[in-house]
Amino acid sequence: MRYADHVPKSTAERTRVRRGSFDTVARLYEQHRPGYPEALFDDLVRRSGIPAGGRVLEIGPGTGQATLPLARRGFVILGLELGASMARRCRQNLGAFPKVDIRNVAFEDWELEPEAFDIVLAATAFHWVKQHTGYLKAARALKRTGRLALIWNFRAVSGTPMLERLAETYRRHAPHLAHPRQPEARIEIQRRKIVNSGQFGPVEILRYPFTRPYTADEYIGLLRTMSDHAILAPGLRRTIFREVRRLIADHGGIFERPTNAVLFLAPKRLRR
């Protein structure tokens, strides 16, 4: 069974399908996607200089993993969520915060509010926005003193026996998923993208390592929310999940996954 036989052939179509896959697993996304360390949000607030009650534009809030920590800190948040099911769950999760407005609209289709926001934020979402369009529109939405804040969780891909065995499973069944870039290489690529956009810089990079334990059910639930797994042929996906379940059982029933939450914070470049 070859990966290429079961996915859209064009890059644009694969991206479209992957981008839309999250809405079909909104419940699992809410249950199994990890959030981000509280220290990250403390530093985001302190280093961005956002005033009390300042405005945040969040691109792709999902079910609220980054929205909730900022809502608790009293900020006014406009969240733009592409998926209807994700947006509905996010509204439910943020129902106690009247300063939060979650709209079911893609960032690209949103009617720009120029120079209206103190922070434009995207947590594990900005890579789904077309690069040139995304950075330019984000810059236009920010006040002159505003900051772009991009957050990702970069999972370790090697360094422990469990990770090595997991990589071997993917090499056998889905080789295209077996050789992901090391986290530091991905961090540098993202830094260059921000700088090369011409809209932001310099970039401050802050790291927050943490480890989350997963049972087999929890980890497979997480994998079901991953867009690269969502487009696998059902039989191939079942084979991988079966192997993952066996590996975690052999590992004592718990998989400790090392992760680095990373905050990229960059000021808007002002035009003369």
Q: For 180-209, how does the pLDDT look when each residue is reduced to its tens digit (9 = 90+)?
A: 788 899 999 999 999 999 999 999 999 999
Of 10-14, 34-38, 216-220, 230-234, the range with the lowest mean pLDDT is 10-14
What is the arithmetic mean of pLDDT over 55-75?
97
Domains in the chain, start-ordered, CATH in brackets? 3-155+181-213+259-267 (3.40.50.150)
Provide the whole-model pTM: 0.90
Answer yes or no: is pLDDT of 108 > 90.
Answer: yes
Can you tell me the distance from the alpha carbon of 35 to that of 117, in angstroms, rounded to the nearest whole number? 23
pLDDT band of 1, cuts 50, 70, 90: very low
String of DSSP letters for 78-108 = EEE-S-HHHHHHHHHHTTT-TTEEEE-S-GG
**127-131, 146-150, 161-165: which has the minimum mean pLDDT?**
127-131
pLDDT score recorded for residue 5: 46
Q: What is the pLDDT of residues 111-137, one digit of tens each?
A: 999 999 999 999 999 988 988 789 999
% of the chain residues with pLDDT over 90 = 74
Q: In what order do the strands lie in the sheet with 55-59?
A: 100-103, 76-80, 55-59, 117-123, 142-155, 255-267, 204-214
